[in-house]
Structure 1
Amino acid sequence: MGKQMTEMLKGTLEGIVLALLAEQPAYGYEITARLRDRGFSDIAEGTIYALLVRIEQKSLVDVEKVPSEKGPPRKVYSLNAHGTAELEEFWKTWNFLATHIEELHTNTKEN
């Protein structure tokens, strides 16, 4: 992944993970796998686990410990009301940025 992509992803990854959790609760590795299935193949598991700690500390998710077939219980993350509000704000911001960046792109191509 190029440096520009990495930098842009840093600013949006929290919103992306919240969107995945809005679809369905998941544990860390499962989130990483779902991201990879959607084309985010270069995201390291450690990046996701650090982000999950941050969104848990910000009270954007509820966490349930679920027994695992092997090893310690898994922490399953689900979006709560605060996280849903944060995700809505993310989408508003994303739509604003996407619209204005596309306008810039279109104007640049025309000149």
Structure 2
Amino acid sequence: MQIARREYGLDSQMLKGLLEGCILSIIWEKEVYGYELSEKLHEAGLTMVKEGSIYPLLLRMQKNELIVGTMKPSATGPDRKYYRLTAKGERALQLFDESWAQLYMAIAYLRRNRDEHQANDSIE
């Protein structure tokens, strides 16, 4: 199925709509810097997210006042920009969670219907 998803661009299309919410969820846990954020996305199974694609999104999220970035010294190299949620970002995360729950339930319902239909077809 991976070839078909790539062929139709489904992975990237679905991810575009969800990535901001995923990033807000990670930053909600604690302040993180860009590379650390990328690692956490990969740990969550979002291995298709490239580190370079995160930074433009972080900039947009800062512009929209969902997050704030603060430069802090690093023990192992140059200063790092750590991101944290704003009150507006916390509200956006809450709305994301609510929307995701509704979407998840709708998809689960549709999948159950499809599975039942396929089961009925195999009986006939």
Length-normalised TM-score, structure 2: 0.84
- Give the counterpart letter for 2:110 in structure 1: L
Q: Indicate yes or no: 2:51 matched with 1:14.
A: no
Measure the CA separation in 1 of the matches of 2:114 and 2:45: 28
Q: Indicate yes or no: 2:108 matched with 1:105.
A: no
- Give the counterpart letter for 2:77 in structure 1: K
Identity across the alignment (%)? 35
Q: Hey, what does 1:65 align to over in structure 2?
A: 71
Structure 1 stretches (4+) deviating beyond 6 angstroms?
none
Q: Compute the RMSD of aligned alpha carbons.
A: 1.2
CA shift, 1:33, in A, is: 0.7
The size of the alignment, in residue pairs, is: 110
> 5+ residue gaps in structure 2?
118-124
Q: Hey, what does 2:102 align to over in structure 1?
A: 96
Higher-Rg structure is 2
- Give the counterpart letter for 1:106 in structure 2: R
Q: Cα deviations across residues 42-63 of structure 1 (Å, max 9, x unaligned)?
A: 2111111111001000001122
Instruction: Return the match for 1:34 from 33, 36, 40.
Output: 40
Measure the CA separation in 2 of the matches of 1:77 and 1:101: 32
> 5+ residue gaps in structure 1?
none
